[in-house]
Structure 1
Amino acid sequence: MSATAKGLILLCRPGFENECAAEAEGLAQRAGMHGRARTAPNSGSVHFVFDEVFDWDLALQAAPFHSLVFARQRSVWLERVANMPEDDRVTPLMRAILDLGIRFGRLEVETADTNEAKTLSGFLKRFIPHIERQLKATGFLRNKPELPTLHLFFKDSSQVDLGLSKPDDASPWNMGIARLRMPRNAPSRSTLKLAEAFDALMTEEEREQSLRAGLYAVDLGAAPGGWSFQFAERGIHVFAVDNGPLADSLKATGMVEHVKADGFNWRAPRKQVEWLVCDMVEQPARVAQLVSDWVASGKAKRCIFNLKLPMKKRFDELKKCRQIIDSRFKLHGDSYVLRIKHLYHDREEVTAYLAKLHPHAAESDKQYRR
């Protein structure tokens, strides 16, 4: 595979282009791949353009998807096909794809998550089947999940960017958008944040180990109970800590004990707590200190929490929270895993997964250690 990368294609929530661009720039510079970001306010996408071309595989390694917080999806940008004629868009696009000389296991068709881009949906439903048929006929699109994924990012009906990603190094959802169904009995839509976080921030092995019936969880700032619901549905006992009311339907499950207390002052129960979750509206630095104390001290094995970022200096605030967590774990020389994502169901907050790593932790976890 000799295709060369022009840069990175990053999809994000509209309004977070600057944070997305800053992340890409930082990662690329540390890898010696200098460049510049091209974007527009509320466009929902960022193109980070390298100053010189690089092997596409090296470009992927420079910006691993798990290291990006604000990018919903990331692919390496290989080529742009512009000014496709209205009477024959298939020919120039197919020519560009075949010229890459790469076989693909999947095809992802993408646009920005904007109202303007949504107007392309009808065109893409008619157009993409022609591309898929020709790619399969030529043997370039094969049903082999180990092969790279081809990303087609459409700006409009006449311009498309070609990108590549590898399996397990990109979002599993098209455009990074987790379209989850709202559970019928859930107390609030916030339940979707935790459901998405389980899938986006944890490995399958971690989910199997920690989302088992009979375990215990603590939900700080629980009311009305959207996050507690996710545990109760799995047979996990929850201490729901909040001075506010819980939904009656949640209490009726028998899996949730409502503790009327302040989440910052309440102390851990005399149980082995597998989970701490926290979705309190509070200063991000205070939340970072609170959850890192719980996990570093062993009061909970793992945690998922939200950081409500300020409108200005989001990137700086997130960096501050990382430093707080790192300092807490360094007190006793402990290693930990910290994964942070701006999820589809998030708005101004980001969601993080934090767990303490033991000395016998798997070699594969080292990429997440801080």
Structure 2
Amino acid sequence: MIEIDKQRTWAQIHYDRIAHNVKEVQKLIGNTKIMGIVKANAYGHGAVRCTQELKKAGVDYFAVACLSEAQQLRQAGIEDPILILGYTAPACFDELAQGHFVQSVVSYDYAKKLNAYGLAHNMKMSVHVKADTGMNRTGILYEDGQKDFEQICEVYWMKGLDVQGIFSHFPVSDDLGCDSKAFTENQIRLFNELVDRLKAQGIEPGLRHIQNSYGILNYKDLGMDYCRPGLLYMGVTSDDTIEIESNPDFIPILEWKTKVSLVKDVPDGATISYGRHYTCHGTRRIASLAIGYADGLSRMCSNQGLNVSIRGHLVPIVGNICMDQCMVDVTGFDDIVEGDVATLVGKDGDQICKVDEISRLAKTINNETLSAITSRVVRIDQNNELAK
């Protein structure tokens, strides 16, 4: 049991809410199965624990960004298929094979390297082909301007590969504007065309997946084999101001809290923090909080009116956020004292502080804000146990 009284700053993660959020995703996708995206330590929520909870909710396939993330899951006893979405260096192909991981084919030349390794070791490397239908990041091109269909076919025919699936990715599925919607719908058309062409060549495409989180929210059941939710099972979207085509009942699983380390009265005209960008007008009561940008609270939120909640009172951050501390104006709230809990994200009395508020002021999205919560912020579960 973690003693909250001894903590400086912490994230409490309600893993028991994941099952509810998975059900909300399932309502949107019909018979499509869920591939749990647990990269970047499950966006800061704890990859191993999130994977375990997703498994309890019926998820049977997982995806990460890189080899080390996949190895972490194997070491924790996760035996389900794990797709590595990003690049794995050829020097690490031994480890790919040892872990029985599924590697994304990030290019045709990369497929040839994987194939050569498989042939040299008398084995087949498990892969999913990445088809680039418009993201123009990784993958073999299959766009209106260039369709490298022959290269994709050749990957399927390589003797050193076991091609178990094919996938693509949406860059603007979060945007319901006419141009973006037309672009995404064309990606869907291109992907389905590619699958049909492969079948016409006698090639079994394998598992098909294309929907990211907003692809699920806005395009729902596309009849794919899998979809790839990330933040959704954590109960949030990238930005709660973005219009979506569905109305899921997600419950955020993360709360982010810190402690009041000092409360003092500061005289009229005094300035607060580095740069002296905030000046007190009249005597102000200022509380210091034990959290800063080295914990993941973006310095971009300095002097932007970001509120935290202490004893149910919303109070603004004033002055520049420091590496390990920040200050809030608690004038008029004499009940706030040293040792009180300050809530940056989560519920405090009648107040609800959303991660979206931090993200908007930092000019970013929740994906980054949550992933940026650093390792020195202890993660605990709903029972105040260390989240492993």
TM-score, scaled relative to structure 2: 0.28
Return the structure number with greater relative CO, CA threshold 8 A, min gap 6. Answer: 2
TM-score, scaled relative to structure 1: 0.29
Larger radius of gyration between Structure 1 and Structure 2: 2
